[in-house]
């Protein structure tokens, strides 16, 4: 768990004091990632590292484009020298492609591609099952909360509205993979 420990320490240093709710959320996303380890095999630590660091782009030191997924990935790549796969997961998590498109940042997002679909599904699941303050939450409720928080004129609202069916499909795929991994381990 060296990569996950490194990512944890970095995220904590960037979020714990200045953005405590974001840090609580990130910790829950990390704990959700740990629950997926049986279904991920060798990629379990990579997901755990991405989960704890997925929102570092909100930290003042990382803000560049204003799209926290890209900003976090760039910070991890350019300042922290992180693994490219870790940067890619941070860049592509949850509704990032839709938000990047709305903001005219698709080329910036492409710096971190191609995305790994199974891992993007997994980090999206972890993010959408974690409330803004670190409680477990139903993904549909989490998306409703995001829409209510931002309002129809905001780019995040527009991106999440467009992405909602795919985001819920990602959650369903992760739940199916987790169930299959549990059943496989029982036999």
pLDDT band at 43 (very low <50, low <70, confident <90, very high): very high
Contact (Cβ atoms closer than 8 angstroms) between residue 124 and residue 139: no
90 pLDDT tier (thresholds 50, 70, 90): very high
The DSSP bridge partners found for residue 136 are 130
pLDDT at position 56 over 80 = yes
- DSSP letters, the chain, are -HHHHHHHHHHHHHHTTT-HHHHHHHHHHHHHHHHTHHHHGGGHHHHHHHHHHTTGGGSTTT-SSS-HHHHHHHIIIIIS---HHHHHHHHHSTTHHHHHHHHT-HHHHHTT-S--HHHHHHHHHHHHTB-TTS-B--HHHHHHHHHHHH-TTSHHHHHHHHHHHHHHHHHHHHHHHHHHHHHHHH-
187: pLDDT strictly greater than 70: no
Q: Is the pLDDT of residue 64 over 80?
A: yes
In the chain, the N- to C-terminal Cα span, in Å, equals 28
Is there a contact between 82 and 57 (Cβ–Cβ < 8 Å)?
A: no
Give the mean model confidence (pLDDT) for residues 77-99: 97
């Amino acid at each position: 768990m060296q990569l996950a420990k490194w990512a944890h320490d970095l995220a904590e240093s960037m979020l714990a004091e200045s953005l405590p709710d974001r840090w609580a959320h990130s910790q829950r996303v990390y704990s959700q990632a740990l629950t997926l380890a049986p279904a991920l095999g060798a990629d379990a630590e990579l997901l755990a590292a991405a989960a704890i660091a997925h929102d570092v782009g909100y930290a003042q030191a990382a803000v560049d484009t204003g799209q926290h997924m890209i900003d976090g990935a760039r910070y991890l790549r350019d300042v922290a020298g992180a693994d490219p796969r870790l940067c890619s997961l941070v860049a592509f998590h949850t509704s990032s492609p839709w938000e990047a498109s709305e903001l005219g940042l698709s080329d910036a997002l492409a710096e971190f591609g191609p995305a790994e679909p199974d891992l993007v599904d997994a980090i999206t699941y972890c993010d959408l099952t974690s409330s803004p303050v670190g409680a477990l939450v139903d993904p549909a409720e989490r998306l409703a909360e995001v829409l209510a928080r931002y309002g129809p004129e905001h780019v995040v609202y527009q991106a999440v509205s467009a992405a909602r069916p795919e985001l819920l499909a990602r959650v369903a795929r992760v739940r199916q993979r987790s169930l299959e991994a549990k059943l496989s381990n029982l036999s």
